[in-house]
Structure 1
Amino acid sequence: MGLPRTLVNINAYADGASYLGVISEFEQPKLALATEDWRGGGAIGSIPLDKGIEKMEATLTLGGHEKALIRKFGTTSVEGVRLRLVAAYRADDGTPAQAVEIYVGGRFTEIDMGKDKPGDATEHKYTCAVAYYRRVVDGRTEVEIDVLGGVYMVDGVDRYAEIMEILMG
């Protein structure tokens, strides 16, 4: 019988700057296929057809006021902000901790600065529309999605390579 790997601790980097001790929470992008239902003649039901990847979004929550991140709001580049989450997961069964890194390229579409009250802790939440995503576990890339570059890698297989080869001639 196994035990689940649970998050032990995290750090976040934004454009290379570390937010160790400041990061409160990171909501990873949801990976979802965009689908459209199709029911052809003779079929007894519909099936979802693959239409690409749904829009991805990540949320970074930090304690306190970080002017360097606020200054990134409104960048004109869809990959104007680079985020990296480093996480350590561990099962309480004696197995080694697992390193998980999430790389995100996108731009802040919303900054929620919450409420300010003297003497209370403050948190700012940065919502990032994601154009690039990569998940690395123990040094191995498990998923990489580059929306503009046409890369859709899962477990070492580029599931969009055939399409890009046709398009690039």
Structure 2
Amino acid sequence: MALPRKLKNLNLFNDGNSYTGVAKSVTLPPLARKMEAYRGGGMNGPVKVDLGFSDDGLQFEWKTGGLDLISLKQFGSVNASGVALRFAGAFQQDDTEEVSAVEIVVRGRHESIEMGEAKPGEDTEHTIKTTCTYYKLTVDNEEIIEIDLLNFIEKVAGKDMLDKQRTAIGL
């Protein structure tokens, strides 16, 4: 038996600016696919057909303590990939003490910035939801998943999942 890798610490970078001491939490983008049931003649049940990414797309939600002027100045970015965020996490196994470096890089723009409740003498925080066009997961310097929605790229464990489709449509 082995113990799982658990997040021991994290940092967030926004356009290269370190959020050490500012980032409170992140909700990493769920990876979800749009599936549709198909059942044709001679089939005893439906099979889910993969139609690409889910309609919710790639969403990265994060919280900061206090007033975050960097993200506020980025609000309303016209460029769909205008904001670059990088999550860096240290995941450790308590049985082996091994630490894995997990990095998630996303590009997108802020869909919403919740300013939170403001009370004198109380903690304040912003909750930012960034809708992403690009996602890359790297663990211990190994690229695990890369998704570039605008450039029709999807790589999983080094395999180009869309290579044949790009060729078929002349890209």
For the superposition of Structure 1 and Structure 2, which TM-score range results when normalised by the shorter chain? Answer: over 0.9
* CA drift at 1:109: 0.4
Quote the residue 2:125 is aligned against. 123
How far apart are the structure 2 equivalents of 1:141 and 1:41? 41
Tell me which amino acid in the other structure corresponds to 1:53: F
The match for 1:136 among 135, 138, 142 is: 138
SS of the equivalent of 2:118 reads: coil
TM-score (norm 2): 0.96
How far apart are the structure 1 equivalents of 2:35 and 2:97? 39
How far apart are the structure 1 equivalents of 2:22 and 2:97? 29
* CA drift at 1:94: 2.5
TM-score (norm 1): 0.97
How far apart are the structure 2 equivalents of 1:94 and 1:52? 38
Task: Report the identity percentage.
Answer: 37
Tell me which amino acid in the other structure corresponds to 1:148: L
Count how many residue pairs are aligned between Structure 1 and Structure 2: 169
Runs of 4+ residues deviating >4 angstroms:
none
Report the more deviating stretch, 36-45 or 84-93: 36-45
Task: After TM superposition, list the pairs within 5 Å mapping 1:1-169 onto structure 2.
Answer: 1-54=1-54, 55-168=57-170
Q: Summarize deviations over 1:13-61 as a string: whole Å, max 9, x none.
A: 0111000111000101100111111110121111110101121101011
How far apart are the structure 1 equivalents of 2:106 and 2:94? 29
SS of the equivalent of 2:64 reads: strand
How far apart are the structure 2 equivalents of 1:21 and 1:42? 60
How far apart are the structure 2 equivalents of 1:72 and 1:16? 13
| Structure 1: stretches of 5+ with no match in the other structure | none
SS of the equivalent of 2:70 reads: helix
Tell me which amino acid in the other structure corresponds to 2:81: E
SS of the equivalent of 1:148 reads: coil
How far apart are the structure 1 equivalents of 2:44 and 2:98? 49
How far apart are the structure 2 equivalents of 1:11 and 1:24? 9
| Aligned alpha-carbon RMSD (Å) | 0.9
